[in-house]
A and B are shown apart, each in its own frame.
Chain A
Amino acid sequence: AQKITQTQPGMFVQEKEAVTLDCTYDTSDQSYGLFWYKQPSSGEMIFLIYQGSYDEQNATEGRYSLNFQKARKSANLVISASQLGDSAMYFCAYEGGSEKLVFGKGTKLTVNP
């Protein structure tokens, strides 16, 4: 079974600085997708960014970028120019074409003013 590991239970960053949230995965699938979601205290899961296993370029969406290293099976999220509103739980998730998302345990990010 696929496994997603987020080793950072909590992270702190100063406003306007960049931060990297780690995610590694374990799979034998050839085709898969990696997702990052943000969950504020309100509860809604907000999609941030997606990386397909065959994508040659690292995904970017505004201030979010995904540092995808396929050989190392890592898909780290980079948030540039952190804002106070970025404080939330961040989940990395794996999808192997089975319609099931496998989530990591999450990282709680706190942005300090």
Chain B
Amino acid sequence: DTEVTQTPKHLVMGMTNKKSLKCEQHMGHRAMYWYKQKAKKPPELMFVYSYEKLSINESVPSRFSPECPNSSLLNLHLHALQPEDSALYLCASSRLLAGASYEQYFGPGTRLTVT
């Protein structure tokens, strides 16, 4: 299984809603990531979990709350979002390569629209 899955594929939410994005991988990867990508821009790193612990938080607003319940699952809880948070949210997991770099596998993404 060389796949990262994400649900839902599309999400429309109001600014007062609470919703969650889910990401799952069964490749035994120890690190998982959340990225935000606006149209025609590269992905921007939000969070990194390593061995189920948050290792990197790129100064993301608190209305985004990540959670890693186990080594295969990564959630992103959303609350009180703004219209400018509308974007494609990508999840990834990584494995260590022989050259000491980490190869990241990406999921298909969740297209989020905040109204």
Residues of A within 8 A of B (CB): 31-33, 35, 37, 42-47, 50, 52-55, 89, 91, 95-97, 99-101, 103-106
Q: How far is the CA of A74 from the CA of B105 in the complex (A)?
A: 23
17 pairs, CB–CB < 8 Å, chain A vs chain B: A43-B37, A43-B90, A44-B106, A45-B43, A47-B104, A50-B101, A52-B98, A52-B99, A52-B100, A53-B99, A95-B102, A99-B50, A100-B45, A101-B45, A103-B42, A103-B43, A106-B42
Known contacts A43-B111, A103-B42, A105-B41: A95-B101 contact under CB 8 Å: yes
Known contacts A95-B102, A99-B50, A100-B45: A43-B97 contact under CB 8 Å: no
Closest A residue to B31 using CB positions: A99
* Distance from B31 Cβ to chain A, minimum over Cβ atoms (Å): 5
7 closest Cβ pairs, A-B complex: A33-B101, A52-B99, A103-B42, A45-B106, A43-B109, A44-B108, A95-B101
Asked if B21 is at the interface of the complex by the 8 Å CB criterion, the answer is no
Checking A35, A42, A89 against B108 with a beta-carbon cut-off of 8 angstroms, the contacting residue is: A42
Q: Tell me the residues in window 31-67 of chain B with beta carbons closer than 8 Å to chain A beta carbons.
A: 31, 37, 40-43, 45, 48, 50, 55-56
Q: How far is the CA of A37 from the CA of B109 in the complex (A)?
A: 15
| Chain B residues with CB under 8 A of A91 | 42-43
Closest A residue to B90 using CB positions: A45
Contact A99 B103 (CB under 8 A): no
Contact B55 A99 (CB under 8 A): yes
* Distance from A77 Cβ to chain B, minimum over Cβ atoms (Å): 15
Contact A50 B103 (CB under 8 A): yes
**Which of B43, B88, B108, B109 lies at the interface centre, i.e. has the most chain A CB atoms within 10 A of its CB?**
B43
Asked if B94 is at the interface of the complex by the 8 Å CB criterion, the answer is yes
Q: How far is the CA of A79 from the CA of B42 in the complex (A)?
A: 21
| Chain A residues with CB under 8 A of B90 | 43, 45
Closest A residue to B45 using CB positions: A100
| Chain B residues with CB under 8 A of A99 | 31, 48, 50, 55-56, 94, 102
